[in-house]
A and B are shown apart, each in its own frame.
Chain A
Amino acid sequence: MKQKINHNNMASQNIIKNKVQGLIYQNALYTIIAIFFGFLVGGIFLWSAGFSPLEAYAKLFSSVFSRPKYLVWSVIYATPLVFTGLSVAFSYKMGVFNIGAEGQFVVGSLAALCVGILVDAPPVLHVLLCMLAAIAAGMAWSFLVAVLRVRFGINEVLSFIMFNWIAFYLSNYVINTEIIHKVGGGEASKDIRESARILLPQSVQNIFKSDKANYGILLAIIAAVGIWFILTKTTFGYRVQAVGLNPHAAKYGGINSNKTMYIAMSLSGALAALGGAVQLMGNSMRISQFAGQEGFGFQGITVALIASSHPIGCIFSGLFYGAMKYGGSKLNLIDAPTEVVDIIMGTIVLFIAISHVFRYLITRRLKNKEDK
């Protein structure tokens, strides 16, 4: 009797292993092909501009990996991207394309800035307050869009884009107000107080040889694990994914998709906003007047797509993108344009968007063969 149970356990373990392998195999394959094509297209551009792609890519690689200091910087660059990636990924699980991450990031950053400058509080509490302000701002920013969609039927892509730009100009406006603006000229806000920063202690900074080493990445990882937990272990996660996968069956099963949408989109907004807060508190320390959108939100879309919207995967794809950004910024040392990173990333996104169709066609053909 015991033997039989053990055998069943093993069999089901194998089954689970096969299933997991099968899933990852599918997604990862297309992602890797897309990444390959991205580098290929980037390489073509480099070559036609007179650079050796190999030399440029080698420089890219060494700019990230050759020194620990560079790795640290890559992580610093990656941190906000993990947050925006999570934001887009979580939203996608519910079937909503969060192109508004850009605006949510900005308002989060702005809210944290205001609390970071205007409020006087002891260090840990101050950081907490800034983050709470950011979360509130981000939640409000995306909750409004959810209301516009549910109550007024306004397409959320349009609303998100409008809100992105409103946030952009709002940020520029606020940092130019007297209390926020940097004293003595310059196109930026004041720096946030020391108590609001999330930098690592001096001793650790010395080891990493970077004055911007911060624990934002830890927060990002915690957030990623948290989102993973919500999606896979909670009833809320069950609801969110059911609505995203089959809204009809969800309705049949008694799930209230509107309520789910409100909560999920607010959570999404909060994540992107935290990204803004962390970027401010760990890296930039101030917000500058911008001529154009910084792009953290849009880059988050790439992060989420490469990770196939898997929360833990966002950590890795966030690190990938962060490394690319940092390494890319050093390309001008060999006179190669840093924009090649944008070209590579854009190509990757395009190929991933197309690859979904390939996967559908291939699996459908396989299924037809099976049914015969």
Chain B
Amino acid sequence: MEELIKNLGLVINATLIATPPLLYAALGSTFSERSGVINIGIEGMMTIGAFVGAAVAHFTSNAWLAFLCGGLVGALFGLIHAIACVSFGADQTISGTAINFLAPGVAIFVCKSLFEQSSNTPPLDTAQKLPKLFNGVFEVGSFWNNVLNTYVATYLAFVAVAIVWFIFYKTRFGMRLRAVGEHPKACETQGISVFRIRYIAVIASGFFAGLGGAYVTLCTVSQFRPEVIVGQGFIAIAAVIFGKFTPHGAMGACLLFGLCNGLKVLLGSGNVISPNLISMIPYVVTIITLVLFVGKSRVPAANGKPYFKQK
């Protein structure tokens, strides 16, 4: 019994570590997708957010500043995506793919420049990382320590879900955002600037993606390596589609995917099931779910189509 509780604690712990990067990125993605702009460049934005977070933390030892900077650089690439797709009407998938080249390229380039040709940043010590809540309160290795003694940024991620939910469903901006993703022409005729809303949404998606990346280097891995972001961005996109483009739905899906990671830690260590097979689960589950629930995932009607203002 004790073994079971201990394992449960470990799984929850692993889940709570794997979920926030996905969740931040997924929240960002909901902004973009709901406004009608596909953003598959999230992977790249997370990568550069991860790098900038680690680098700023190294130089300033101020983890929260580093976290914020990670978000800002993500927002910068979000701006690039917005300019290409909203103002120039470029194919959104191509633009996203270009950013998946550019952002990691820039990240590693700058990393090598700053850190003597190493594509890793120096490891951060605990003081430079983001703080944990309830540190030292519980006994190390106990169930409650595993579950509650996790990073503040983790709790913040779930708070962010509530905030984004509020914005989407209670504020003016949220209502207009959702309308723009469904019927941009109707919005334009009621005096709403489709361009402006999409710009804000896409930049926000970059910001959140950057935060998600920074979380990984400032909490979990404690340094930037080129492989810290391997697929999380794409899983986040899947989570959003899974969660029917809502913040709460995305949260559920991210927890599910995070759980897969938790299981990987538990099962993989005992070599019961190959970690590679477990890693496949989120992707296979996504496809199966989409097949079974076809038509029920309501994509915003104007998703993916550039909006050209009628003169």
Contact = CB atoms under 8 A, between A and B. Distances in A.
Contact of A305 (B38, B94, B280, B283): B94
B14 to A, nearest CB: 18
Interface in B80-112: 80, 84, 88-91, 93-95, 97-106, 108-110, 112
A152 B102 contact: no
Contact of A148 (B89, B104, B238, B291): B291
B98 A353 contact: yes
Given A173-B274, A292-B227, A353-B91, A342 B105 contact: yes
A13 B117 CA distance: 57
Contact of B94 (A50, A97, A162, A165): A97
User: Interface residues of B toward A: which range?
Assistant: 35 or more
B101 A349 contact: yes
Nearest to B287: A162
Contacts of A293: 230
A152 B294 contact: yes
A169 B280 contact: yes
A354 B40 contact: no
B97 A301 contact: yes
B4 interface: no
A329 to B, nearest CB: 14
B113 A354 contact: no
Interface string A157-176: 11101111110111011001
Contacts of A347: 98, 102
The main secondary structure of chain B at its interface with chain A is helix
A169 B279 contact: yes
B98 A346 contact: yes
A8 to B, nearest CB: 42
A148 B299 CA distance: 16
Given A170-B280, A353-B91, A346 B113 contact: no
A115 B283 CA distance: 27
Given A49-B110, A298-B97, A337-B112, A346 B91 contact: no
Contact of A166 (B106, B113, B227, B283): B283
B232 to A, nearest CB: 11
A206 B95 CA distance: 44
Q: Give the size range of A's interface with the partner.
A: 35 or more
B284 A49 contact: no
A337 B110 CA distance: 9
B291 to A, nearest CB: 5
B290 A337 contact: no
A339 B291 contact: no
A343 B280 contact: no
Nearest to B229: A292
B276 interface: yes
B108 A337 contact: yes
B237 A158 contact: yes
A154 interface: yes
B241 to A, nearest CB: 6
Contact of B40 (A161, A170, A172): A161
Given A176-B274, A176-B276, A153 B295 contact: yes
A72 interface: no
B102 A148 contact: no
Interface string A300-344: 011001000000000000000000000000001001010111110
B97 A161 contact: no
B101 A342 contact: yes
Contacts of B287: 148, 154, 159, 162-163
A365 interface: no
Contact of A357 (B90, B105, B237, B238): B90
A160 to B, nearest CB: 10
A154 B97 contact: no
B100 A298 contact: yes
Nearest to A165: B283
Given A166-B283, A349-B94, 16 more contacts: A152-B294, A157-B93, A162-B287, A165-B234, A169-B279, A339-B112, A340-B109, A346-B101, A347-B102, A350-B90, A353-B91, A353-B94, A354-B84, A354-B88, A356-B91, A357-B88
Those 6 A-B pairs whose CB atoms lie nearest each other, nearest first: A342-B105, A346-B101, A346-B102, A173-B276, A349-B98, A49-B113
